[in-house]
Amino acid sequence: MKVTRLASGKDKKAAAALMAASDPWRALGLGPAHCLATFSVPFRETYMIKEGGALAGLVTITMYGTFRGYIQSLFTAPGFRGRGLGEALMRFAEKKIFARSPNVFLCVSSFNKGALRFYRRLGYKKAGVLKDFFRKGSDEILMRKTLGPLRDFAPRRN
């Protein structure tokens, strides 16, 4: 599976439409405009996998701020689920992040039980709860995978 940068406006619009039509984005009421904005912030990096010319999945990471190494979104298109793309995108993101930070952070909606199981299986631990973050009655679970304390971390030199 080849992972490349999400760059074209056409791919961004297609990704935003697919995400907005899928949970958890749909359940949270986050439409295509919100999803498109996720890819348009200058300090975020979005990478995708295409299969047969179709967008199959993507991951967006943020490498700035307090939670440097934050996975903003992970998405696998409905027709491509269950084929290891999400795990491949996570491995790709973790490799990029762990080269520059000892921590990978992400949030997952409390109602998204499948995603919670997926992230736990990949070694993520609950770091906190953001109560009623997007909507009342739905919490965001902050999760973290770590190599160790930030203070002890030495970025890899290429």
Provide the pLDDT confidence category of residue 75 given band limits of 50, 70 and 90.
very high
Q: What percent of the chain has pLDDT over 90?
A: 65
Query: Which of 102, 101, 37, 100 lies closest to 72, judged by CA?
Result: 37
pLDDT of residue 157: 67
Task: Please report whether residue 7 resides in a domain.
Answer: no
Domain containing 146 equals 45-152
pTM of the model: 0.90
Task: Please report whether residue 146 resides in a domain.
Answer: yes
pLDDT of residue 29: 86
pLDDT of residue 113: 94
The residue ranking higher by pLDDT, 55 or 65, is 55
Reply yes or no on whether the pLDDT at 105 is more than 70. yes
Task: Please report whether residue 115 resides in a domain.
Answer: yes
Residues near 153 by Cβ (< 8 Å), separated by ≥ 6? 101, 102, 147
Give yes or no for a contact between 99 and 118, defined as CB atoms under 8 angstroms apart. Answer: no
Whose tokens are 């979104």? That residue is 73
Query: Which of 139, 112, 123, 47 lies closest to 85, judged by CA?
Result: 47
- With H, G, I as helix, E, B as strand and everything else as coil, classify residue 76: strand
pLDDT of residue 134: 82
Task: Please report whether residue 52 resides in a domain.
Answer: yes
Task: Please report whether residue 124 resides in a domain.
Answer: yes
Task: Please report whether residue 12 resides in a domain.
Answer: no
**Angle at which helices 9-20 and 32-40 pack, to 10 degrees?**
140
pLDDT of residue 132: 92
Cα torsion angle, 144, 36, 92, 43, sign: negative
Q: What is the pLDDT of residues 116-157, one digit of tens each?
A: 999 999 999 999 999 998 888 889 999 999 999 888 988 876
Tokens standing for 78?
């409905």
pLDDT of residue 87: 96
Beta bridge partners of 5: 47
> CATH no. for residue 146?
3.40.630.30
What average pLDDT score do residues 90-108 get?
A: 96
Give yes or no for a contact between 63 and 100, defined as CB atoms under 8 angstroms apart. Answer: yes
The residue ranking higher by pLDDT, 71 or 24, is 71
Residues near 28 by Cβ (< 8 Å), separated by ≥ 6? 109, 134, 135, 138
